[in-house]
């Protein structure tokens, strides 16, 4: 990308001001500091998170910061080269050294906002463009604003999930860490010279499963938890199974199975009843993390990295399973049952927990098919007919499919989709991509000192007074950051409580855990 600026000149009152490539000045050529005094005067008092478009000489940013010292401020420039060019200006040098101001190129918008924008802190966001910067490239400026808004929307979506699951996740993580501390250490072998078969539980699995049965020895089978029981019913032993859902329903995927040859991969947030059930007959358990800050805090207590991070594509177990296959070094992956749609009025393949649930409760007046139909049409649907079947899609299923295809492209795979099976091949794959050439990889389930973890919590509890104020992430300790999903849940349940009050309540809850466990 070419520089957005051509040169730096002096204003009439002696301050450096940058000129765009068309020779127009970003600031007043007469008095840039005086001009900056009114910048951002329309800002909402209800929000303390502000994104400023355009760095330039920085005078408008400095003025805004002096009037709003409590704000988290993100400043966006076109490129890192532009930032380096502008860093010759004294005001910009000062801003770059200010820890409360974050200056980034526009290609880092998503990553930066996700790290700093917390809905539990900030109800709204201010987006303030420098007018000259905006007008210099209107199309780019509009694109930047759209990117900011879409990222904020994603953060808000994550927050709404935390509001609902914050307490469940907290319970699961602590109890799973306790189970982890009791596992027997052993090496878990994965033959990455085979093809990985990732098995989702979509309805097409009814007529693609035979390929697995006929060629079982060619595949390392990685089942999603929903598909796991279905495979067991067809006497297919999964080499690995992955579960990420924290809800109680997850336990039903494993009940009745006592397979001590399968590797069980659980997200730390996964339902601990499911983990505890598996622990009764197997120690072949691996825990992973997917972004919950309490998992990071648990690693801090052991002073080392413990958990591999899986990309679940916003909570999709199929994507997490494919990501696990990539992590293990598989260059060829076939994905079965990933339909992202309902086929012939069926939401899942045969033998899932829904079959058990709906068949158990069916009557002549209310057959199981009625329950499946209600499940299909609980949200607006898009229907299409092919030569062989009727396909029903929803907005959320379309989003899951897009996320899946995005994962394939972002991870350097090419793919084809044929007869309901995705075939993925990693581009430019060499033996250096895996840890052991054409042989068995092995993973070791992790050692974890739970008593050390409990002591670490006690030593990091910081008393919270009602007079304490928190405006930014930097105001929080590592432990307090790790409790943010729980705090989000508590804030929703106790709407009259301030953030400080919810933090105090979360502190008390985490201390109660240490007493019980």
Phi, psi dihedral angles at 369 (to 5 degrees): -60, -30
Which pLDDT score, from 0 to 100, does residue 471 have?
67
Distance CA 449, CA 402 (A): 40
Which pLDDT score, from 0 to 100, does residue 359 have?
45
Question: Domains of the chain: which residue ranges?
Answer: 5-136, 169-183+192-340+395-444
How much of the chain is helix, strand and coil, in % rounded to 5?
45, 20, 35
Which pLDDT score, from 0 to 100, does residue 174 have?
96
Burial environment of residue 435 by CB neighbours within 10 A (0 to 12, 13 to 18, 19 or more)? middle
Which pLDDT score, from 0 to 100, does residue 362 have?
45
Pairing of strands 382-385, 187-191: unpaired
**Max Cα distance, the chain (Å):** 89
Pairing of strands 332-336, 195-199: parallel
Which pLDDT score, from 0 to 100, does residue 145 have?
95
pLDDT per residue, tens digit, the chain (517 aa), is: 678 999 999 999 999 999 999 999 999 999 999 999 999 988 866 678 899 999 999 999 999 999 998 888 999 999 999 999 999 999 999 999 998 899 999 999 998 998 888 777 776 789 999 999 999 999 999 999 999 998 888 887 777 778 888 999 999 999 999 999 999 988 888 888 899 999 998 888 988 999 999 999 999 999 999 899 889 888 899 999 999 999 888 888 888 888 888 999 999 999 999 999 999 999 999 999 988 999 999 999 999 989 999 988 777 899 999 999 999 999 999 999 998 887 766 766 766 655 554 444 444 454 444 444 444 445 555 666 665 666 777 777 788 888 899 999 999 999 999 999 999 999 876 654 444 444 456 777 788 999 999 999 999 998 887 777 776 677 889 999 999 999 989 988 888 888 888 999 999 999 888 876 6
Q: 137: which 2 tokens?
A: 């490239």
Residue 190 has a CB neighbour count (10 Å cut-off) of 25
Which pLDDT score, from 0 to 100, does residue 516 have?
65
Which pLDDT score, from 0 to 100, does residue 78 have?
96
Q: Which of 162, 178, 321 has its CA nearest to residue 246? A: 162
Distance CA 124, CA 106 (A): 21
364: Cα separation from own chain's centroid: 44
Stated as kind and residue range, the H or E segment containing 383 is: strand 382-385
Q: Which of 214, 250, 256, 220 has its CA nearest to residue 237? A: 220
Which pLDDT score, from 0 to 100, does residue 438 have?
40
């Amino acid at each position: 990308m070419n520089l957005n600026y051509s040169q730096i000149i002096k204003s009439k009152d002696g301050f450096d001001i940058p000129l765009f490539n068309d020779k127009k000045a970003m600031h007043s050529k007469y008095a840039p500091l005086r001009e900056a005094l009114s910048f951002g005067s329309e800002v909402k008092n209800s929000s303390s998170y502000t994104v400023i478009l355009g760095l330039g000489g920085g005078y408008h940013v400095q003025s805004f910061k002096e009037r709003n010292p409590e704000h988290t401020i993100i400043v966006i420039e076109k490129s890192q080269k532009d930032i380096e060019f502008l860093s010759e200006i004294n005001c910009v040098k000062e801003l770059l050294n200010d820890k409360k101001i974050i200056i980034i190129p526009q290609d880092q918008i998503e990553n930066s906002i996700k790290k700093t924008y917390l809905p539990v802190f900030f109800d709204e966001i201010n987006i303030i463009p420098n007018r000259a910067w905006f007008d210099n490239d209107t199309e780019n400026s509009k694109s930047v604003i759209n990117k900011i808004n879409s990222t904020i929307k994603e953060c808000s979506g994550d927050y709404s999930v935390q509001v609902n699951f914050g307490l469940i996740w907290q319970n699961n993580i602590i109890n799973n860490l306790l189970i982890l501390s009791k596992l027997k250490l052993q090496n878990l072998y994965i033959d990455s010279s085979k093809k990985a078969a990732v098995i989702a539980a979509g309805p097409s699995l009814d007529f693609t499963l035979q390929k697995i049965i006929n060629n079982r020895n060619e595949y390392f089978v990685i089942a999603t938890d929903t598909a796991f029981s279905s495979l067991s019913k067809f006497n297919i032993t999964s080499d690995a199974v992955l579960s990420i859902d924290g809800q109680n329903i997850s336990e039903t995927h494993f009940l009745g199975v006592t397979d001590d040859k399968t590797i069980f991969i659980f997200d730390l947030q996964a339902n601990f009843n499911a983990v505890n059930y598996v622990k009764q007959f197997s120690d072949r358990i691996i825990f992973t993390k997917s972004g919950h800050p309490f998992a990071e805090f648990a690693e801090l207590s052991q002073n080392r990295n413990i958990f591999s991070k899986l990309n679940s594509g916003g909570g999709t177990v199929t994507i997490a399973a494919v990501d696990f296959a990539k992590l293990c070094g598989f260059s060829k992956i076939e994905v079965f049952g990933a339909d992202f749609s309902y086929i012939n009025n069926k939401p899942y393949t045969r033998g899932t927990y829904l079959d058990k649930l709906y068949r158990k409760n069916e009557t002549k007046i209310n057959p199981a098919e009625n329950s499946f139909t209600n499940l299909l049409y609980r949200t607006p649907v898009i229907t299409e007919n092919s030569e062989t079947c009727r396909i029903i899609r929803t907005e959320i299923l379309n989003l899951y499919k897009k996320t899946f295809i995005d994962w394939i492209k972002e991870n350097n795979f090419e793919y084809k989709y044929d007869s309901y099976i995705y075939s993925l091949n990693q581009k430019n794959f060499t033996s250096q991509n895996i840890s052991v050439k054409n042989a068995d990889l092995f993973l070791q389930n992790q050692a974890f000192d739970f008593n050390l973890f409990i002591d670490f919590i006690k030593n990091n509890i910081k008393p919270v007074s009602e007079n304490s104020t928190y405006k930014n992430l930097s105001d929080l300790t590592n432990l307090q950051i790790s409790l943010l999903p729980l705090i989000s849940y508590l804030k929703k349940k106790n709407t009259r409580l301030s953030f400080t009050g919810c933090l105090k309540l979360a502190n008390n809850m985490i201390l109660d855990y240490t007493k019980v466990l």
